[in-house]
């Protein structure tokens, strides 16, 4: 059975498809939320265009991929703030500079982003800290994810929401890996080799 999207997700997907050739997908996301487009817009747009070009090599799969991608992103029961915190926690660990440079919701501020390496900051709720801890280990070393992480998540989220978090974490991490290994990022916003010491510190903080 094909994945069904809400009307809002359908409209957003249609907008992205309409504007993909001019690389304005990120601008549309920002405008929808009343935010200015991030300063690194050219690099982000270049990466989006390159990603569309890559997936264009397998158009039938691309047609199935984007409804799923936008569905798990915008139609989940986690809400935009939790979804964005999970994405940024993964990006903070992998040090994907492109992923770290953009914000997809005004509900996450720079104080929240600064709190991600040490998840006990006062800006995060217990539920948000549980998500950040899980996503940090998921993105850096999944062998570090234990039953305690799931017990912590279960104190705040339903089984459905935890499953959505798993799916979204896999999507956010996987697309970041594609951008890296396929070298789809503009030279003005490089993805550096991961710093081993920084990675260790990030995992230890979680």
Mean pLDDT of 151-165: 96
User: Could you say which DSSP state residue 11 is in?
Assistant: H
Closest CA to 189 of 26, 47, 35, 38: 47
Q: What is the pLDDT of residue 27?
A: 38
Q: Which strand (E) or helix (H) includes residue 160?
A: helix 159-181
Domains of the chain as residue ranges with CATH: 7-205 (1.20.1290.10)
Mean pLDDT of 100-125: 81
> What gap in Å lies between CA 205 and CA 164, rounded to an integer?
24
Q: Which strand (E) or helix (H) includes residue 130?
A: helix 126-140
Mean pLDDT of 94-104: 78
What does the pLDDT look like over 50-77, one tens digit per residue? 777 888 888 888 888 888 888 888 889 9
């Amino acid at each position: 059975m094909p994945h069904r999207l809400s009307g809002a997700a359908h409209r957003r997907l249609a907008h992205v498809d309409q504007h993909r050739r001019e690389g304005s997908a990120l601008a549309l996301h920002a405008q929808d939320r009343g935010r200015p487009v991030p300063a690194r817009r050219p690099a982000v747009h270049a990466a989006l265009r390159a990603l569309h070009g890559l997936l264009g090599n397998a158009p039938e799969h691309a047609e199935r991929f984007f409804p799923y991608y936008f569905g798990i992103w915008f139609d989940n029961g986690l809400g935009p703030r939790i979804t964005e915190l999970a994405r940024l926690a993964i990006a903070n660990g992998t040090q994907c500079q492109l992923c770290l440079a953009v914000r997809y919701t005004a509900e996450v501020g720079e104080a929240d982003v600064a709190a991600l390496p040490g998840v006990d900051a006062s800006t995060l709720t217990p539920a948000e800290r549980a998500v950040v801890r899980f996503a940090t280990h998921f993105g850096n070393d999944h062998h570090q994810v234990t039953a305690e992480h799931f017990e912590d998540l279960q104190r705040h989220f339903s089984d459905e929401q935890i499953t959505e978090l798993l799916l979204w974490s896999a999507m956010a991490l996987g697309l970041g890996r594609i951008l890296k290994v396929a070298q789809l990022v503009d030279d003005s916003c490089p993805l550096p080799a991961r710093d081993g010491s920084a990675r260790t510190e990030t995992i230890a903080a979680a």
